[in-house]
Amino acid sequence: MWVRPCDWAGAQLKRGGETEMLRFQRTRHRLLLLSFLVFLADTVVAVGLVVSAQAAKDCERACGSYAAPYPFGFSDGCPIHLGCSNLPKPTIRIGEFTVRNITDDGLLVDVPPACNRSVHAARSLFGNNYALSRRNGLFLRNCTPTAGKSLTERCSVDTILIDGSCGPVYDNATCLYNATKEGFFNADSIAASGCGFLFTTIGINDPGGVSVPSLDLSTAELAWWLEGTCRCAADANCTTVTSPVTHRPGFRCGCSEGFQGDGFIDGTGCRRVSDPNQKCNPTKYMTGGCGGTTSRYGFLVGGIIAGASAMAALAAVCWWIKRHSSLTRKRKSMRRLLSEASCAVPLYSYKDMEKATDGFSADHILGTGAFGTVYAGMFSHDRLVAVKKIKNLNNDSIEQVMNEIRLLSSVSHPNLVRLLGCCVEQREQILVYEYMPHGTLAQHLQRVRGPVLPWTVRLTIAAETAKAIAYLHSAVHPPIYHRDIKSSNILLDHRFNPKVADFGLSRMGMTEMSHISTAPQGTPGYLDPQYHQNFQLSDKSDVYSFGVVLTEIITALKAVDFSRAQSEVYLAALAVDRIGKGCIDDIIDPHLAPHRDPRTLASIHKVAELAFRCLAFHRDMRPSMTEVADELEQIRLSGWVPTDGSMFLSKSSSSCSSPSSCNEKPRTTSKSRRLASVSSRGEEVKGGSPVSVQEPWFSDRSSLSENNLLGNAIH
């Protein structure tokens, strides 16, 4: 068939146009498909970023005060989910184990020894993002031999790990060291070990080289990773791993040298530190190695010094304010108490007391007792005083101090010691009395100081002391019961006039009642036995105590002396026995020389008879203090002229009425020895003591420098 050239050319053109059209359509389709794929990829990435950001936002990273670094957290939105236990304190946990520390490439877990912990507990050490690393060894118990494994090759550290608390376990225990080629522990090998219990784990730190590996007992080291491909920051290094659990690829990021951070894009990334060669640490920061040209130690030391100085100044101000307010409060409290006591006793400052006593110097001590120490003091106007510093500060001592202030400020008698003032500062309670240069009656009777007191002086002291006590019982309303009458509480002034002191135990009585009920208080040897027996305090209790003082004046013996025979330890019992048997001469002080002066002997016998009545057991048989004072004054003023009714002037009265009865309890010092002693010291007594209190006392022992000061006026 013949075809025309024009038709053939048209056909060829038509066929070529169709081919070009097809090619164009195919290219357009390919471009559309490629654009769709790119859009889809971008969408997936965007969604991934949103999901990742939302996941990071929903991750709880705080466990108590600890903030975990990325990628760790304590909620489901965290890449690596750990447990957080808040009881009894916040603790990071993996299963039943406690996480001790989180490092850049591992987790340190505590696995304490446990005898009956199942071997399956080791499964909790394997997770989707962490597993036991090869740097561990498991110590297993209750093992049975398996194929290809013998238990005879025991663990070389079992003697260290087992203390015997789990029983005999060496014959069925083993150590398991098994790692995969990726450097992780094989979880399946633990279950296949044939052992029943996981006792503990051993962390093995092998630095390589010639260094000896170290063992970290009861510790397991877990390696961690994130699944997927590397998503590390620009300045971070990526370490790829293959998960031994899921067998999927994973990675771990770490900042390059000179950078800090977690290294992850989704975390804090990496930031450059000042020193490009080393990471910044506190030491380098303080020395200026993390930026800056100077050391910061100077600023730190300066800040510490400034802060310490400010704190010291603040503490000093607070201390001064507290001290000042405390002193002010104590002064107000004392003034209030004094006001309640209706007295106007001067208040002295503590500085005045220190100045008066030369800082309470030991050279100024006059005496020390159970309730305090007495010092000799000198005020600026050259006035000698006695300063009593109370010790054992408590409610009882405060009550006694206030009681003494209250009573002494309400009475006035020439034979009662005067209270000149007080001081309540620096946690101290101080009383100021008039100064008694000749100390106490007890010191003179016991020959502790001064020469022998003649009978005339002793009798005058007894009479004037009785007047002072009678004044407290009869002239004061309500009456005052002293409760502590004794020779050491009778002070002597420069003319040997007595003054009764120490009213700390005194009580006010009731006019309409014969006694008051109170717990017995006083000094052993002077205490009224009936008061001690029935707790009934009356004026006759002071009468009994004064009777003991009378026997001390007669005998110069101590009220209580354990060196005497058991039945004679108490002077009151000894005196009652001797006077009752008519053996008064057996107990008279040999220095009084009774046989050389019949009038003195008669006077002593009369006072002894009065003391005998004062020492009666039943208080109704004792005379009142007014009667005692009147009788002593009559004896003192009688001139010791014998009366017709006196039985004491006969020769027989000088000795016992019944020699046999007197010899029942012989004295350690015989009558002849007493007289010999008196004869040898007759001149001393005659020339060294006044015959009455009206004569001046010319003693070279009355100066302050020779410690001739006030004696102990306290218990």
Asked if 456 and 485 count as a contact pair (C-beta separation under 8 A), the reply is no
**501, 417 in Cβ contact below 8 A?**
yes
End-to-end CA distance of the chain: 163
- As annotated, the active-site residues are 484
Instruction: Select from 517, 523, 518, 515 the least CA-distant residue to 622.
Output: 515
Q: In 3-state terms, what secondary structure has residue 63?
A: strand
Tell which residue, 565, 590, 595, 596, has the closest CA to residue 665: 565
CA–CA separation, 82 vs 128, rounded Å? 12
Q: Are residues 94 and 125 in contact, defined by beta-carbon separation less than 8 angstroms?
A: yes
Q: 656: how many CB neighbours lie within 10 A of its CB?
A: 19
Single-letter amino acid, residue 259: F
- DSSP H or E segment with residue 431: strand 428-434
Give me the DSSP letters along 211-244: SPPEEEETEEEEEE-EESS--B-TTEEEEEEE-T
Structure tokens at 52: 């990742």
Residue type, 351: K
**558 has binding-site annotation:** no
Contacts of residue 595, defined as CB under 8 A and 6 or more positions apart, other chains included, come to 601, 654, 675
Residues 6+ apart with CB under 8 A from 107: 94, 99, 101, 130, 221, 222, 224
How many whole angstroms separate alpha carbon 469 and alpha carbon 102? Answer: 88
Contacts of range 331-340, beta carbons closer than 8 Å, 24 or more positions apart: 331/424, 331/425, 333/424, 334/422, 334/424, 337/402, 338/405
Q: What angle do CA 65, 114, 178 make, to 5 degrees?
A: 90
Query: Do residues 227 and 131 touch, judged by C-beta distance below 8 A?
Result: no
**Distance (Å, rounded) from C-alpha 392 to C-alpha 387?**
16
Is the sign of the CA dihedral 51, 54, 60, 62 positive or negative?
A: positive
From CA 541, how far away is CA 674, in angstroms rounded?
Answer: 33
Q: Which residues are annotated as part of the binding site for ATP? A: 389
Q: Which residues are annotated as part of the binding site? A: 389
